[in-house]
């Protein structure tokens, strides 16, 4: 699921920069995407996460510069047609607005579990105080930037730049920010294009590196050579570029990713609680797939059409349909995932119970796990064992001492 999410983010990143280059420079974005993929592949293969962190710092500087340029552009060049404000209906309450009060928190919260920067910030913090400080600063800065950039969509509509004058080629609302910057002098637009491509490159290399490390450590447990993994990521670049060129909507790509995480993360988070010590990988996998299947079932019942139910998995109709399709999908995914997870739990425990009875052994699937002292040389008298503990084997520590590498292995059944 992490690799699928990274794949979708890579597609959306390339799709966005392709549209920006096409709109601001009037040229085909495909050559830019190909060059970007080649360049990022070369320097991430040589520098790994270290070079990715370096480019992320450049990215932060570029974002601030773009915000300043956008502020100047709106204040000096943009002329708002006040008659379009009421006509647009953007300041009036509507069904979609109230639906987003639920959809956005669920989508963003669950999808954040798949993004590496949250975990990297956690692993990099020496103390809880450092973590809270870093998160607080990032929250304030991101809130300011997103508010400014997000409001450019309203301004672009009220200025008549979105959807534009050409009904056959409307400007996508996802790039309304750059539609405003298009009004600036040509030399400034040139600088903006360079900054936009640099921003995209800095983000894209992080996705590439994250995909390499996730595949190497989490999927193959570091048993496959790193260069084979990198070669696999290079191969994946081909469908990424093809889909990015053909992608109809950046928002749809993000929504698909959000729906995947909404189905998987809630049932996964149950296993992070000590109260659910009996939760296994089987429940997580069945719950995640079941959550997606529940979305299909909801679409089938709501639309009375199997094809539209399947299209709901890809959010083919997007957000702006005026019905309850997208909202229902984001309700069905987490709720269905949890219900299927508990169903899988009951099935697994039932099979294990009857298997134990048949073999004449004690049913121990609900025994609490052994809590093992982490310090070497800890004797048996100092070990704390919960009541009723009779089993759960201790997995040998065969991993390295590198941070972030699990010392134990989870169980699927």
Quick one: 185 and 279 in the same domain?
no
Indicate the residue among 247, 276, 307 that finishes a domain: 247
Which of the four pLDDT bands, split at 50, 70 and 90, describes residue 89? confident
User: Which of 52-56, 81-85, 185-189 has the lowest average pLDDT?
Assistant: 52-56
- Inform me whether the pLDDT recorded for 385 exceeds 70: no
Q: What is the DSSP string of 47-89?
A: HHHHHHHHHHHHHHHHHHHHHHHHHHIIIII----THHHHHH-
Rounded Cα distance between 262 and 74, Å, is 36
Q: Give first-to-last CA distance, the chain, whole Å.
A: 19
Is the alpha carbon torsion for 217, 221, 227, 232 positive or negative? negative
- Inform me whether the pLDDT recorded for 18 exceeds 50: yes
- Inform me whether the pLDDT recorded for 78 exceeds 50: yes
Quick one: 253 and 213 in the same domain?
no
Closest CA to 242 of 34, 6, 24: 34
Within a domain: 31: yes
Within a domain: 337: yes
**Torsions phi, psi for 318 (to 5 deg):** 75, -160
- Inform me whether the pLDDT recorded for 153 exceeds 70: yes
Indicate the residue among 247, 280, 305 that finishes a domain: 247
Note down the domain range covering 74. Answer: 2-79+115-247
Quick one: 314 and 192 in the same domain?
no
Q: Which residues of 304-332 are buried (b: 16+ CB within 10 A; e: fewer)?
A: eeeebbebbbebbbebeeeeebbbbbbbb
Report pLDDT digits (tens) over 270-300: 998 889 999 999 999 999 999 999 999 999 9
Quick one: 241 and 269 in the same domain?
no
Report pLDDT digits (tens) over 325-354: 999 999 999 999 999 999 999 999 999 999
Which of the four pLDDT bands, split at 50, 70 and 90, describes residue 173? confident
Quick one: 41 and 170 in the same domain?
yes
User: Which of 58-62, 178-182, 225-229, 230-234 has the lowest average pLDDT?
Assistant: 58-62
In the chain, the number of structural domains is: 2
- Give pTM, 2 decimals: 0.80
Please give the pLDDT value at position 115.
72
Quick one: 9 and 47 in the same domain?
yes
- Inform me whether the pLDDT recorded for 386 exceeds 50: no
Average pLDDT over residues 106-119: 80
């Amino acid at each position: 699921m992490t690799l699928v999410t990274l794949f979708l983010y890579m597609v959306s990143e390339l799709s966005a920069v392709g549209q920006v280059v096409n709109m601001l420079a009037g040229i085909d974005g495909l050559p830019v995407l190909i060059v970007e993929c080649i360049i990022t592949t070369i320097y991430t293969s040589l520098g790994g996460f270290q070079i990715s962190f370096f480019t992320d710092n450049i990215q932060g500087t570029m974002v601030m510069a773009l915000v300043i340029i956008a502020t100047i552009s709106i204040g000096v060049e943009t002329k708002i047609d006040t008659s379009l404000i009421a006509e647009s209906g953007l300041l009036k309450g509507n069904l979609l607005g109230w639906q987003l009060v639920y959809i956005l928190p669920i989508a963003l919260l669950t999808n954040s579990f798949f993004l590496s920067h949250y975990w990297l910030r956690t692993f990099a913090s020496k103390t809880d105080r450092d973590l809270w400080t870093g998160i607080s600063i990032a929250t304030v800065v991101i809130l300011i930037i997103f508010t400014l950039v997000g409001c450019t969509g309203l301004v672009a509509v009220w200025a008549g730049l979105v959807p534009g004058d050409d009904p056959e080629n409307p400007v996508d609302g996802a790039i309304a920010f750059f539609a405003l910057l298009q009004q600036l002098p040509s030399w400034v637009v040139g600088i903006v294009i360079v900054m936009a491509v640099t921003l995209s490159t800095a983000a894209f290399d992080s996705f590439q590196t994250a995909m390499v490390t996730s595949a190497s450590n989490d999927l193959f447990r570091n048993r496959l050579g790193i260069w084979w993994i990198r070669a696999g990521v290079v191969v994946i670049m081909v469908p990424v570029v093809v889909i990015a060129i053909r992608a109809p909507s950046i928002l749809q790509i993000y929504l698909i990713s959000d729906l995947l995480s909404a189905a998987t993360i809630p049932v996964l988070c149950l296993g992070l609680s000590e109260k659910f010590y009996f939760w296994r990988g089987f429940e997580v996998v069945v719950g995640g797939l079941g959550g997606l299947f529940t979305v299909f079932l909801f679409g089938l019942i709501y639309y009375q059409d199997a094809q539209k139910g399947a299209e709901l998995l890809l959010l083919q109709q997007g957000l702006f349909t005026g019905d309850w399709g997208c909202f229902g999908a984001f309700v069905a995914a987490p709720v269905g995932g949890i219900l299927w997870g508990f169903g899988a739990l009951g099935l697994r425990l039932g099979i294990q119970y009857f298997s134990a009875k048949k073999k004449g052994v004690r049913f121990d699937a609900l025994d609490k796990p052994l809590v093992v002292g982490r310090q070497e040389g800890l004797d048996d008298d100092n070990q704390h064992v919960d009541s009723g503990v009779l089993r759960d084997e201790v997995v040998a520590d065969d991993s390295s001492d590198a941070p972030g590498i699990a010392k134990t292995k989870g169980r699927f059944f």
